[in-house]
Every structure is written in C-alpha cells, then in structure tokens.
Amino acid sequence: MQAQLQKLTELTAEIADLNHANALLGWDQHVYMPPGGAEERGNMMGTLGKLAHEKFTSEEMGKLLADLKTHLPELDADGDTYRLISVTARDYEKSTCVPPEFIAEQAQVTAMAQQAWVEARTKSDFSIFCPHLEKVVELNQRFVTFFPPADHPYDTLLDTYEPGMKTAEVKAIFDGLRPLQVELLRAISQRPQVEDAFMHLDYDEKTMWDFSVEVATAFGYDWKRGRQDPTAHPFCQSIGPDDVRITSRWVPELPYALLFGTMHETGHALYEQGVDHSWNRTALESGASLGIHESQSRMWENQVGRSRAFWEHFYPRLQERFKTQLGNVSLDQFYRGINRVQPSCIRVEADEATYNLHIMLRLELEIAMLEGSVAIKDLPEIWNAKMQDYLGIVPPDDARGVLQDVHWSGGMLGYFSTYALGNLISAQLWEKFKSLNPELNNQLRQGDFSALLAWLRGEIHQHGRKYQPQELVERVTGSKIDPAPYIIYLKEKYGEIYGL
C-alpha cells in the first residue's frame, strides 16, 4: 500500500500544481490584468482546468483509488491515511459522474446567462434574464440525475459546497431560526435607532488601508505567505498554503467596508494559512466546506471585529488616525454605530441581525425552482412578497431584488445556505471557545488574538478537508450545526445596544 500511497501523492501533487497555477491566473485576472487580456486569460485558464480534470479523472487515478479503497477496512476511519484515500476517492467519483458534454454545455449556457444577467440588472428588467435562468435551472435538474438518488434532489447541489449536508437538515435549522430572527428584528425596529452619521463622512483611503493592515497583522495574518491588493469585488485566494492572498475594496461612500471586508478576508486567509503542511498538494489542502470557511471569516469580522472588547483596544488607535471624523465620537457611540441594524434590500450590505433572512428567502426559492413548483417568470413577485414577510421591506426594483446576486447566472444553485450556516457555526465555535477560555474578552481588550488563533488552528484549520462540516462541528462543540448559540449571541448583543 505504501507504494500506492506514494503514487497517489505524486499524481495529486501535479494536479494541485495545475490548480494553483490556475488560481494565480484567476487572482491576477481580478487584480492586475488589463481588460484586453480577458479572452487570452479565458483560454489559458480553460486549458489548465481541462488538464487538471483529465489528470484527475484518468484511468490510472481510478485504478489507483480503487486499489487503495480495498485497504480502508484495515485502517482507522479517523486516521489521516483513511481520510486521504476516502476524500480523494469521493472527489474522483463526483468528477467522473458528470459527462464532459454536459460540462461544455453548462459553460456555454452560463456564459450567455452571465451576459444577460449584467444587462438585466443594469436595466432592472427581469424578462431579459428569465429565459436564461430557466435554462440554468433545467441544467441543474439534469445535473442531479448524474448522481445516485438522494433524499431530496437539492441534496446533490448542496453537497458540492457543503459535503454531506442534507436539505432536510438545513431546512430544519432555518425553520427554527426564522421566526426568532423575525421577532428580534420587529423588537429592534420598535426601539429608537442608533446614530451612525460618523460612518458616512469623508475618510482618507490610505489611512484606512494602513489601519486595516494593522488589524490583519494583529489577527495573525502571515505577510510572508500573503499580500493584500485592491480589487472591485473582495475575495481571498489561496495559491497554495504558503501563498494566501487577500483583496480589499475602497468605496468612498462606505469607508468602513474596507476595514470590515479586510477582517473578513483575513479570516478566510488565516484558515488557509493554517492547514497542516502535510496536506500540501493533496486533495485535503483546503477548507472543509464553504460554510466552515465562512464561519472563520465571520468570526473575525463580527464576533471579534464588531465587539466592544476589540474596540476598547483599537478605537483610540483609529481615533488618533481620524481626529476630525471621530474626535467627538465616544467608544460607546462608535460601537453602536458599527452595529446598527437596518433591514435593507441588498444581501451583501446586510447587518448581522438581518443577513440570514436574505439567505432563507433564496434557499426557499432555489428548492422550489429545482422541484419545478414555481414558474421562473413569477420569481420577482415571490421574492418581493418574502422580503415583505421576513424583512418588512420591498425592493424598489428588480435590480435591488431578484437580480442582485451573481450566483444563479453562474449556474450555481445550492451555494447560498453556506453563508448562513457560516454565521451559525461561528457563534457555536465562539461559545465553545469562550467556555474554555474565560479570559477571552480580556485578551481582546489587549489586542491579543493569539489564544483564539491557536485554538482555531488546532481545532479547525490544521485538518483541512479531513472532516466533513457536520462532523467537524460536532467534534469541536459536541453537537451538530445548531442555531441556538447564534440566537443567544444576537439577543445578548442587540438586547444591550437597543435596550430590548
């Protein structure tokens, strides 16, 4: 078996190299590439992606994995070797299920759909996007048929982003959460609103950028294995565990978006930088799932970055840099301002108390689309009705309603719930760590994040993709993904801020 394992690591190393090269091209595409390079870049990335796919789905790989799988019964099911084989074999089976002609058709349909979506959103006209979305949904319905039947067809889509997670589990979590979040929001809306005028003044970009660097450094981001660049849509890109890059966006009207966005992307980056080096260039070298990834970014952005304890340390430093804007704003006013709750139409601008409601709406629509129980043309109307129910507002137009997200035009159904799951998991992990480390708030007050990072490294980061999300959360917290800690967190935080 040793020789076969050796062979497996050789093969996956080459595939990882191709994927890393592609990731670097993708990073450059969004950060530095001149617009004229788009077509050539598309060709390069397509070729590299095809080579990686061919290598991974090769007969040699299939035979090797089949041989290795015969050894699984002799191995410890929680051990590294077992997991390396089983995770790689699972990826292989998923990659070989879908016929290449389907992948080519999907690429074509989504290329057209993306173009149509941009036009539809610009003109705020859903009818332009509608026929394309119908095709995207039809593709997803067909995609599901390539896999063994699941409890619900949506399980197959979810599994791409959140391995092992079931639709019924997500629905049960959201069903428990929704009435509580709606109730909390109603209670907040009946209280006097907090003041946040200081967040909308003129700020200097360079000064805010430097402050965000100071925060990322304090969090523990390793600059020898990372860098930060400006971009239009912020993201974190791993080119491999020793080169994990973050990007940030400056919007003059929303000066704090750069700071909190940097905290968020740093959270993603800390995860990737913390994966054990023995997983380099294997199938396990990345994060466990999008939901677990989001739990890390959200924790650093919200539980840490929007906490009073954090700002007790950092606020005097920020005030020092922005004397004109913040000179007369007390720590308490600042803390309330950055945590203001305000239902809005746009998901990516949503605060902690409203964010999950945006996700629940999308999940319900996606399931209905996949089941064929709604007509695509009726989506704008259903969208607006649900916005009214959950958030108490109706988008003024479809650009700020059903057309706001890029995901569907990219062919992606099954993605959205991972954002909300990330929020819930972040609160669960936070609660657990607080119970183990009663000094946490004092550490934050001193700008010391080393204990938190060390714990996340040991419990989450180092494992890479070794565990599935539900399994990982249960190992760390003793229970599967559970909305209760998030609700407690929200009630405590906003109860104090809004005097509920």
Q: Which residues are catalytic?
A: 265
Q: How far is CA 365 from the centre of its chain?
A: 20
Burial of 323 (0-12, 13-18, 19+ CB in 10 A): exposed
- Cβ closest to Zn ion, residue 314 vs residue 419: 419
CA 91 remoteness from chain centre: 20
- Residues 281-310 contacting Zn ion, CB under 5 A: 297
Q: Which CB, 132 or 293, lies closer to Zn ion?
A: 293
Residue 426 makes contact with Zn ion by CB under 5 A: no
Q: What Cα–Cα distance (Å) separates residue 166 from each residue in 144, 171, 291?
A: 14, 9, 13
At 247, give phi and psi (nearest 5°).
Answer: -130, 155
Nearest to 366 by CA among 148, 170, 99, 84: 170
Q: Looking at beta carbons only, is 301 or 482 nearer to Zn ion?
A: 301
With respect to Zn ion, which residue has the nearer C-beta, 266 or 297?
297
Sheet (strand 244-248) strand order: 228-230, 244-248, 236-238
- Measured in whole angstroms, how far is the alpha carbon of residue 160 from the centre of its chain? 13
- Residue 264 CB, nearest approach to Zn ion (Å): 6
Contact 314, 170 (CB under 8 A): no
- The nearest distance, CB 268 to Zn ion, in angstroms, is 6
Using alpha carbons, select from 453, 444, 499, 212 the residue that is nearest to residue 308.
444
CA 186 and chain centroid, separation: 27
Closest contact distance (angstroms) between CB of 464 and Zn ion is 18
The residue with its CB nearest to Zn ion is 297
Please say which residue, 92 or 271, places its beta carbon nearer to Zn ion.
271
Q: Whole-number minimum distance, CB 260 to Zn ion, in Å?
A: 12
**φ, ψ at 473 (rounded to 5°):** -60, -40
Rank residues 234 and 411 by Cβ distance to Zn ion and give the closer one: 234
DSSP secondary structure of 76-129: -TTSHHHHHHHHHHHHHHHHHHS-HHHHHHHHHHHHHHHHHHHHHHHHT-HHHH
Minimum CB distance to Zn ion, residue 425 (Å): 13
Give yes or no for residue 228 binding Zn ion (CB under 5 A). Answer: no
Q: Which is nearer to Zn ion, 260 or 334 (CB)?
A: 260
Query: In angstroms, what is the minimal distance from the CB of 294 to Zn ion?
Result: 5
Q: Structure tokens of 157?
A: 């889509």
The angle at the Cα of 129, spanning 344 to 22, to the nearest 5 degrees, equals 85
Question: Between residues 248 and 297, which has the closer beta carbon with respect to Zn ion?
Answer: 297
Q: Which residues pair with 240 in a beta bridge?
A: none
Residue 285: CB atoms within 10 Å: 22
Strand bridging mode 236-238 / 228-230: unpaired
Q: What is the dihedral of CA 300, 306, 309, 312, to 10 degrees?
A: 120
Which positions from 242 through 261 interact with Zn ion, judged by CB under 5 A?
none
Count residues contacting Zn ion (CB under 5 A)?
1
Q: How far is the CB of 265 from Zn ion (least distance, A)?
A: 7
Radius of gyration of the chain (CA): 23
**Smallest Cα–Cα separation from 382: which of 367, 235, 5?**
367
Minimum distance between the CB of residue 237 and Zn ion, rounded to whole angstroms? 12
Distance CA 82, CA 466 (A): 9
Contacting positions for Zn ion (CB under 5 A): 297
